[in-house]
Structure 1
Amino acid sequence: MSDAKSSRSIADIAERFKSIDVCMLVTKTGPDAAIAARPMSNNGDVSKGDGTTFHFATDDGRIDDDLKRSPQCGATYSHGEFYGSVQGVAKLIRDRNVMEEHWVDELEKWFENGLDTDGLVLIEVNPQRIAWWEGREQGELTPGG
């Protein structure tokens, strides 16, 4: 890959992330803050304004504990020649009204009881740094910066 630079907006990159359903969400885990990654759907829900993504999970797994311990996280996206990386801060949301705003029916394949699933939580990832690569182009964005 060359060092050719290209300028794309956060809205451009957010649109790419939106078109890639599954990312690898990375957290710090355990007392030693080891790295853990797991596939998560972004449900096509990516803010064009700042690249914020939204992911549903349940609070009975490790991801909930990880994000309570440290909200720092990352996500990686890949499709064809496009690769993206997000470094950000996560927030766990349990407010049903907010979850309803981000829910899509396709999530019922993972959460049989929909929004009534025990322990359902919405993970909002607010990016602090977004890096991307596509072919010979690459760039880095700092939302809000």
Structure 2
Amino acid sequence: MSDRSLSQIAGKLKSIDVAMLVTKTGSEGAIAARPMSNNKDVSEEDGTSYHFATDDGRIDDDLKTSNQCGATYSSGDFYCAVQGTGRLHRDREVLEKHWVADLEAWFENGLDTEGLILIEVSPRRIDWWEGREEGQLTF
């Protein structure tokens, strides 16, 4: 077991653009996963990450039913699993705070995209592996 700070792990997660965001879905609580960019927006203070989507897919329904979610990351020999809670934001001011110009490739109307939402993932546990080292952070 190796000790790494939350800041160190968050720094690694920032450098990995795409995570697989995982939610519980349907009445039976099955698992659903989809690729989501974190837009290099990962807090080094508390590990919170932010992901944009639209509310016409399954993810917003999933998080309304159960806020339990996770994200997995991989780059080279670094792997990370984040378990936590998800929160949906629709407030324009909050969306503006986390918006980056690169997102216009996915949302052609930018912040004016119909149904635009921001998913805030707050970690409760982060497990990571890199080569022969591994560790866990809990909150």
Shorter chain as normaliser: what TM range?
over 0.9
Q: What is the aligned counterpart of 2:102 among 88, 98, 106?
A: 106
- Give the Cα separation in 1 of the matches to 2:136 and 2:71: 14
Deviations 1:10-34, CA, capped at 9 Å, x for gaps: 0000000000000000000011010
Deviation at 1:142, TM superposition (A): 1.1
- Give the Cα separation in 2 of the matches to 1:80 and 1:29: 30
Deviations 1:119-144, CA, capped at 9 Å, x for gaps: 0000000000000000000000013x
State yes or no: 1:37 paired with 2:33.
Answer: yes
- Give the Cα separation in 1 of the matches to 2:37 and 2:62: 18
Q: Give the match for residue 6 of structure 1.
A: 2
TM-score (norm 1): 0.95
* Structure 2: segments with no counterpart, 5+ residues: none
Q: Give the match for residue 127 of structure 2.
A: 131
* Structure 1: segments with no counterpart, 5+ residues: none
Aligned length: 139
Deviations 1:79-137, CA, capped at 9 Å, x for gaps: 00000000000000011001101000000000010000000000000000000000000
Q: Give the match for residue 64 of structure 2.
A: 68
Q: CA RMSD in A?
A: 0.5
- Give the Cα separation in 2 of the matches to 1:50 and 1:12: 11
Q: Which amino acid aligns with 2:74?
A: S
- Give the Cα separation in 2 of the matches to 1:109 and 1:31: 34
Q: Give the match for residue 77 of structure 2.
A: 81
Helix, strand or coil at the partner of 2:59: helix
- Give the Cα separation in 1 of the matches to 2:106 and 2:84: 25
Runs of 4+ off more than 3 Å: none
Q: What is the aligned counterpart of 1:55 among 40, 51, 69?
A: 51
